[in-house]
Structure 1
């Protein structure tokens, strides 16, 4: 499975928190990252988005359907976010010793690898990244507008998490 975590782009300050829109800079960041995602992300990508306006606007830059999920709201629980994505459902890839890759568990009739993009918030996204890479939650920083891309696989019977990319809008043309 591929899991892409996209922190919402730069947003205005103020209250109520769920109603804060993107700034002009944030709109540009969202579009830059959406363009990168169109070029690099898996083609069959399910998109789950926080109900916050800034996350909805960030996701809208992709110009593809998405699902709003209350489990992704600001202050979300790491386990609930991972459950929403199906990360722990066992859709790993088994890398054999000869370098070929086979599907360990198949969830769809077409046997397509699942890919989920989450548009959410700090500190939850940083805590998810820490858990996936370090084995425990910690307050890691995910910059506004950035994407962290993870894959999971099984190698020699052990499930592994692979960090495929970390990119922020400041590094895109």
Structure 2
């Protein structure tokens, strides 16, 4: 399975928190990362986002369908995010029907051949950093994922053991 964690791009300060919009810089960050994803992301790619407006605006830059998942709210925990994503085996306790989540083959993301299941989560700090720490170090820690940045993980089985592989860390521009 591939798990891509994309932190929402730069957003305006203010309240209510869920209604914060991207800044002009944030819109540029989202477009630049979307261009990178279109060139490199697995296909098909299921995209799930927080209910926060800034995550939805970030995801829209990719130009593919996405689903909003309440388990990805700004106050979400690591377990919530991993359950929403179905990590590590691609199963989600919500549904296994990608079309029900708004996921479809991404027509503007090139098909890279037969791949494992892939999901892109557009979410928030500190949850994304804590997930990254858990996957790589085996325990939650407050690691930084920059606004607009992306971390890409895969899992694989080697000699009967499941391993997590960090495929890419892409900073925002």
TM-score normalised by length of structure 2: 0.85
Tell me the equivalent position of 2:4: 4
The verdict on how the C-alpha distance between 1:71 and 1:90 changes in structure 2, with shifts beyond 3 A counting, is closer
SS at match of 1:4: strand
Tell me the equivalent position of 1:164: 167
SS at match of 1:89: coil
Q: CA RMSD in A?
A: 1.6
Tell me the equivalent position of 1:22: 22
Tell me the equivalent position of 2:124: 121
- Following TM superposition, the consecutive aligned residue runs of length 4 or more in structure 1 with deviations greater than 6 angstroms are none
- Which string of whole-angstrom CA distances, capped at 9 and with x for unpartnered residues, describes residues 40-85 of structure 1? 0002100000000000000000000000000001010101110111
- Pairing of 1:1-173 with structure 2 (within 5 A): 1-89=1-89, 113-170=116-173
Q: State the 1:33 CA deviation.
A: 0.2
Q: State the 1:88 CA deviation.
A: 2.9
The CA distance in 2 between the partners of 1:77 and 1:88, in whole Å, is 16
SS at match of 2:88: helix
- Which string of whole-angstrom CA distances, capped at 9 and with x for unpartnered residues, describes residues 8-60 of structure 1? 00000000000000000000000000000000000210000000000000000
The CA distance in 1 between the partners of 2:67 and 2:77, in whole Å, is 18
The CA distance in 2 between the partners of 1:135 and 1:52, in whole Å, is 28
SS at match of 2:145: coil
TM-score normalised by length of structure 1: 0.85
Q: State the 1:89 CA deviation.
A: 3.1
